[in-house]
Structure 1
């Protein structure tokens, strides 16, 4: 996957970081802290996350963590931003690699990509920028799932030469919101995702969009 933004830019742009890392070593250190936070959230949820727990699992001192993150909230906010950027990069890359020729094929590419993020990206199920639990203050025009659905529309327009009127755009945005909610349900209690719910999620995603986009 192409690197659309370096880790230091992601950190500086999506969370209230005290000191933005400017050297490779610092960037690696902050990335390790976020990796540890993502692993913790994946296993335990974000409610009980503490700086002490992340210091223990990341190998960084509490002083080092506080150098970059003023508190646990800032760490979670930055992790949400990183997850959002990774989702944007993954979705863009998936559509461009698959080169779908029909809307049906394109929707399957999007579904498979988002399912993969829920299954493989640590912490993504709990902390992502489109969630009701997204706790980042929105300082830019970044609207979580709206941003992801907008990227989907742009890539479909470029890849397949499709144009979408206001009804079609709304259908794609609504379908993506429904897909996200159903993926949350599918992975709520089943580690690899409930197959029946995943199948229904794919069907509904197609149905919502196909009903408005002809």
Structure 2
């Protein structure tokens, strides 16, 4: 995900400043895990981090800036994970296996890290954050796109762009829904998405779209 200048008001350059920002983000993450992103308050973040409210505002203009910084951090980690998982793929069978394993990894991650689902919810309430999330989805879809292009170069690029973005967006929507319902139903939803994604990937590779 590209870094947005409004997420962090002033980039920390000195070690002490970087450590202070890390404390702020850790405090915000803990508070979100406890009470959700809607209840996050700048004063509570400053108090939990052991910094003044003025110091907090030096780096983050508002609550959205904090949520954006946390979302960007997760996005960078996710993009690296996706690039690693898809980077070694050299045939359609491996692609399907690697992609479906990624789905399982993300589902397990969101189940294990409640703060991530709250940060995700926080991005949906802010138009600027939704724009950044879409840009991140496009970047991740491009990784899938690049792999598919090696296997099926005859597929028209715009068609491939649409298919990979839709696969990715449907996956994200599935995760949101799956962690919002009970675990048994969530498991079924994820399994259904995996079947749908596998069929679409196979159809692209077979040129039968």
TM class by smaller structure = 0.7 to 0.9
- Of 25, 44, 56 in structure 2, the residue corresponding to residue 65 of structure 1 is 56
2:13 aligns with 22
Offset from partner CA, 1:85-132 (integer Å, 9 cap, x none):
222122112334x64642312322331343244234553223349x64
Q: What does 1:24-43 correspond to in 2, within 5 Å?
A: 24-43=15-34
* 1:38–1:141 Cα change, 3 Å: closer
Unaligned runs of 5+ in 2: none
- Offset of 1:148 from its aligned partner? 1.4
Give the alignment partner of residue 209 of structure 1, picking from 187, 201, 204.
201
Which of 115, 127, 133 is the matching residue for 2:107? 115
CA RMSD of aligned residues (A): 3.4
Equivalent residue for 2:77? 86
TM-score using structure 2 length = 0.76
Contact 1:45 1:126 (C-alpha < 8 Å) held by counterparts: yes
1:1-214 mapped onto 2 (5 Å cutoff)? 13=4, 15-96=6-87, 99=89, 101=91, 102=93, 103-121=95-113, 123-128=115-120, 132-133=124-125, 135-136=127-128, 143-154=135-146, 156=147, 163=153, 165=156, 166-190=158-182, 194-214=186-206
Structure 1 length-normalised TM: 0.74
* Rg larger in structure: 2
Structure 1: unaligned runs, 5 residues or longer: none
1:51 Cα deviation after fit: 0.8
Q: Distance in 2 between matches of 1:181 and 1:99?
A: 25
Q: How many residues align?
A: 201
Deviation for aligned residue 1:180: 0.7
Contact 1:167–1:212 (8 Å) recurs in 2: no
Contact conserved, 2:9 with 2:59, CA < 8 A, in 1?
A: yes
- Per residue, is there more helix in 1 or in 2? 2
